[in-house]
């Protein structure tokens, strides 16, 4: 930056952009958080922060503890091991570790004391409802989109009994088991009264699956339907997944005007001993996404990919297909080095017609650091881009910066969702 403009001319405008990015409320379009009505499903507090699966994976690299012994510990004991290993025995400089500290620091807690019991004491005195509001305020999050699975035995009964009324949260319908493990899912659907057969392509099955999708879309008022996919996902193909997508999911999304979110690139359970922390990533052949966008122009696709090597191709696809909206730096992409690289590339290829980030928070408090860290990077990139425009003789006004940031923080996403083809 310094090479582009002198410090004196840079600071006032840069400070304005930074302030706008820091204060514009964001729609967090993909999280694993839950409204309070879901009780224990909403994770929050220091022990949940420490036992986040990103940190569990890092701990096993540093500690000589058999997997089974760690998993047999209580959650508090696991948090003790992680704190000891990643924060006290080594410096917490990984992104996931730093995130815990950014969050605690934002709450006004003195992290340098390294006093875990004192941190626990503070959290024990918080009320969940106020804590949600505090976290959202510190993170600048206006709406949280949950990930809602009818296949989750803890979550399903809550929706069936009393759907939660909490304006801070909206829902997304997650259907991985439907598309990725049909043999196990078909009997469950049948048990719930949907007349499916073992053959995923029969007309009877497709009708029943569409009824299932319609019921759940209405019940949870889903904003979109979503699935994560393995790197070897293909479309078209003779698989149950490809068939169900074409015959049931896409017609359903067209009927309800909903985008279909696909997240390709995850290799589930590459090390099952790590449990939730054991998934890996791989390169996807994005011609599947290209084929879907081309073949179904009346469907809208939200896409994020897990491999760094897929990011450029995905941007090029988005330039070709307006029914494709790119979102987020997902999971292993959510580290400063890659957020910067990916966001810059997206801006350079797509302007502001994408959604740079989602938090993927599994623990409420995480929205604080995920958004603080991302906002800093997004602000730096925007300052650079507006400065470059200045060098081309274009002056960007404050109102224009505000408009752009609103678009990046949910506005472009909402317009995409509302669009009819």
Q: Which residues are at the interface with Zn ion (CB under 5 A)?
A: 360
A 10 A CB-CB count for 153 gives 7
- Between strands 266-267 and 280-281, the pairing is antiparallel
| Neighbouring C-alpha atoms within 13 Å toward the C-beta of 25 | 9
From residue 299 to residue 338, the character string flagging contacts with ligand RAT as x (rule: CB under 6 A) and all else as - is: --------------------------------x-------
- Closer residue to ligand RAT, CB minimum distance, 228 or 380: 228
- Closer residue to ligand RAT, CB minimum distance, 151 or 331: 331
Among 32, 134, 188, 267, binds ligand RAT (CB under 6 A): 32
Q: Which does 90 bind (CB under 5 to 8 A by kind): Zn ion, ligand RAT, none?
A: none
Q: How far is the CB of 176 from ligand RAT (least distance, A)?
A: 8
- Closer residue to ligand RAT, CB minimum distance, 343 or 396: 343
Q: How far is the CB of 400 from ligand RAT (least distance, A)?
A: 33
In the beta sheet, which residues pair with residue 228?
263
Q: Which does 404 bind (CB under 5 to 8 A by kind): ligand RAT, Zn ion, none?
A: none
Q: Which does 366 bind (CB under 5 to 8 A by kind): Zn ion, ligand RAT, none?
A: none
- Closer residue to ligand RAT, CB minimum distance, 249 or 262: 262
Q: How far is the CB of 123 from Zn ion (least distance, A)?
A: 24
**SS3 assignment, position 99:** helix
- Closer residue to Zn ion, CB minimum distance, 313 or 360: 360
From residue 345 to residue 384, the character string flagging contacts with ligand RAT as x (rule: CB under 6 A) and all else as - is: ---------------x-x----------------------
* Helix boundaries (H) for 221-364: 240-244, 250-256, 287-295, 311-320, 336-350
Q: How far is the CB of 358 from Zn ion (least distance, A)?
A: 8
In the beta sheet, which residues pair with residue 169?
144
Would you state the structure tokens that stand for residue 215, as one six-digit string? 């019921």
Report the C-alpha gap between 80 and 116 in whole angstroms.
8
Residue 31 exposed, middle or buried by CB count within 10 Å (0-12, 13-18, 19+): buried
Nearest alpha-carbon partner for 421 in 329, 285, 281, 322? 322
- Closer residue to ligand RAT, CB minimum distance, 17 or 170: 170
Q: How far is the CB of 66 from ligand RAT (least distance, A)?
A: 23
From residue 216 to residue 255, the character string flagging contacts with ligand RAT as x (rule: CB under 6 A) and all else as - is: ------------x---------------------------
Nearest alpha-carbon partner for 279 in 323, 228, 238? 228
Q: How far is the CB of 333 from ligand RAT (least distance, A)?
A: 10
* Total site size for ligand RAT, rule CB under 6 A: 5
- Closer residue to ligand RAT, CB minimum distance, 67 or 331: 331
For 75-101, give the DSSP string.
HHHHHHHHIIIIIISS---SHHHHHHH
| Sheet containing 260-264, strands listed edge to edge, beginning at the edge strand earlier in sequence | 26-28, 141-145, 169-174, 222-229, 260-264, 301-303, 324-326
Q: Which residues within the stretch 81-120 sit at the binding site for ligand RAT (CB under 6 A)?
A: none
Q: Which does 228 bind (CB under 5 to 8 A by kind): ligand RAT, Zn ion, none?
A: ligand RAT
CA distances from 410 to 186, 279, 307, 364, 415 (A): 36, 28, 23, 19, 9
Q: How far is the CB of 228 from ligand RAT (least distance, A)?
A: 4
- Between strands 141-145 and 222-229, the pairing is unpaired
**SS3 assignment, position 292:** helix
- Closer residue to ligand RAT, CB minimum distance, 176 or 313: 176
Residue 74 exposed, middle or buried by CB count within 10 Å (0-12, 13-18, 19+): exposed
Q: Which does 252 bind (CB under 5 to 8 A by kind): ligand RAT, Zn ion, none?
A: none
Would you state the structure tokens that stand for residue 377, as one six-digit string? 């990077």
How many degrees, rounded to 5, is the angle at CA 77 between CA 76 and CA 79? 65
- Closer residue to Zn ion, CB minimum distance, 196 or 229: 229
Q: How far is the CB of 147 from ligand RAT (least distance, A)?
A: 6
Residues engaged in binding ligand RAT (CB under 6 A): 32, 228, 331, 360, 362
């Amino acid at each position: 930056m310094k090479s582009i403009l002198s410090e004196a001319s840079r600071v006032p405008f840069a400070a304005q952009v930074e302030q706008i990015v820091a204060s514009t409320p964001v729609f967090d379009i993909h999280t694993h958080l839950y409204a309070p009505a879901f009780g224990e499903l909403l994770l929050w507090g220091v022990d949940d922060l420490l036992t986040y699966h990103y940190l569990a994976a890092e701990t096993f690299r540093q500690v000589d503890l058999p997997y089974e012994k760690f998993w047999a510990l209580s959650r508090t004991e696991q948090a003790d091991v992680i704190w000891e290993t990643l924060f006290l025995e080594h410096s917490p400089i990984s992104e996931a570790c730093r995130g815990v500290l950014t969050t605690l620091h934002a709450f006004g807690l003195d992290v340098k004391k390294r006093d875990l019991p004192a941190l626990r004491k503070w959290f024990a005195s918080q009320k969940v409802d106020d804590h949600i509001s505090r976290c959202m305020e510190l993170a600048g999050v206006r709406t949280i989109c949950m990930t809602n699975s009818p296949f989750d035995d803890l979550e399903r009964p809550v929706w069936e009994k009393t759907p939660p009324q909490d304006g801070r949260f909206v829902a997304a319908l997650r259907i991985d088991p439907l598309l990725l493990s049909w043999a196990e899912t078909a009997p469950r659907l049948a048990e719930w009264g949907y007349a499916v057969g073992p053959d995923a392509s029969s007309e009877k099955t497709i009708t029943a699956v569409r009824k299932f999708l319609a019921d759940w879309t209405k019940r949870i008022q889903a904003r979109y339907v979503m699935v994560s996919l393995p790197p070897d996902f293909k479309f078209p193909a003779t698989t149950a997944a490809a068939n169900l997508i074409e015959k049931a999911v896409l017609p359903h999304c067209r009927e309800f005007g909903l985008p279909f979110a696909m997240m390709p690139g995850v290799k589930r359970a590459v090390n099952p001993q790590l449990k939730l922390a054991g998934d890996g990533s791989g390169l996807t052949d994005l011609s599947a996404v290209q084929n879907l966008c081309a073949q179904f122009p009346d469907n809208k696709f939200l896409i994020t990919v897990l491999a760094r090597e897929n990011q450029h191709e995905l941007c090029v696809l988005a330039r070709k297909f307006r029914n494709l909206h790119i979102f987020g730096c997902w999971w292993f992409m959510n580290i400063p080095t890659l957020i910067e690289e990916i966001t810059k590339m997206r801006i350079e290829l797509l302007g502001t017609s994408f959604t740079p980030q989602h938090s993927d928070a599994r623990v409420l408090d995480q929205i604080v650091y995920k958004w603080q860290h991302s906002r800093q990077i997004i602000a730096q990139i925007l300052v650079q881009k507006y400065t470059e425009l200045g060098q081309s003789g274009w002056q960007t006004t404050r109102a224009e910066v505000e408009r752009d940031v609103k678009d990046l923080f949910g506005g472009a996403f909402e317009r995409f969702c509302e669009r009819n083809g």
